[in-house]
Amino acid sequence: MKVIRTIRGLIAWRRGLSREGVRVGMVPTMGALHDGHRALIRTARLACDALIVSIFVNPRQFGPTEDFARYPRRLRADASLCRDEGADVVFAPSLTEMYPAGSQTTVSVRDIARRWEGAARPQHFDGVATVVTKLLNAARPDIALFGQKDYQQAVLIRRLVEDIDLAVDVRVCPTVRESDGLALSSRNEYLTPAQRRAAPILYKALQAGRAAIKLRERSGAVIQRRMRSVLVNEPLARIEYLAVCDPHTLEPLARVTNRAVLLGAIRLGRVRLIDNVLADR
């Protein structure tokens, strides 16, 4: 497995593979790899011939008061996980490699970036869209894998790829969870023991919403209240949003007539957690 540090190096490696029939897969990450990332890497490994995992903590997707400085960084352990899972390349550029002095272009996806995470974290999705465009452009993968855990991000990336005609097949893999339901996240490391015990409440609330839909509840407002009624039982949790949305546009649904995605974000102290479930009626 190679560790490549420069965009030029990545482009050169990719050019070397341009023989016909080599399928290149890519899994973009910010490192601190856990079993959620591992599942993406394994799925990618089975679907391609040459696999790149990128590891880059992207400053542009963090707000000024967010956790960029303390976000966990452990390239050695991450690289060894990637090697164990059969990656061919770890792409781990420096900050100045990705954003050299003078860099001034931003990629924006308009409507999908407005709501939910976008409303709570201004600039976040511009940062995501910009870095993903740069990574896909340099690596030119045939397939790129993302997690359902970041549902809005996955929808935004599908839109981006279609809008700017990137020739990549975007695949979204199911959320990997702890045994108590908490979605795996690099940020779970920040939780105190008491917050960690409280954290599965978000998934429980989303499941209550899904159960209501299964029991033929159709009103978005009632489903939302059902989710809220679970979360208010947890004094440590502060609700940021709980929403019943169209799975493609992410607009809120007054009535669930087809599929819905239930999106949620809470705060436990300073730690922000997001999660989602898809619900069929």
List residues near ligand AMP by CB under 6 A: 29-30, 36-37, 39-40, 146-147, 149-150, 173, 175-176, 183-186
For the chain, where are the E strands, in sequence order? Answer: 2-4, 24-29, 50-55, 89-91, 143-147, 169-173, 237-245, 260-268, 271-279
**Smallest distance from ligand AMP to CB 198, Å:** 18
> Which of the following is catalytic: 34, 37, 124, 248?
37
β-pairing, 24-29 vs 50-55, is parallel
* Closest by CA position to 57, among listed 47, 65, 68: 68
Is 39 or 242 the residue whose CB approaches ligand AMP more closely? 39
Cα–Cα distance for residue pair 57/21, rounded to 1 Å: 32
Q: Which residue is nearest to ligand AMP (CB)?
A: 147
Structure tokens at 212: 């209501």
Q: Residue 159 is encoded by which pair of tokens? A: 């839109």
248 is catalytic: no
Residue 76 to residue 259: CA distance in whole angstroms: 42
Measured from the CB atom, the residue of 35 and 251 that comes closer to ligand AMP is: 35
Of 186 and 195, CB closest to ligand AMP: 186
Residue with smaller CB distance to ligand AMP, 33 or 279: 33
Q: Kindly state the smallest distance separating residue 28's Cβ from ligand AMP, in Å.
A: 6
Catalytic residues: 37
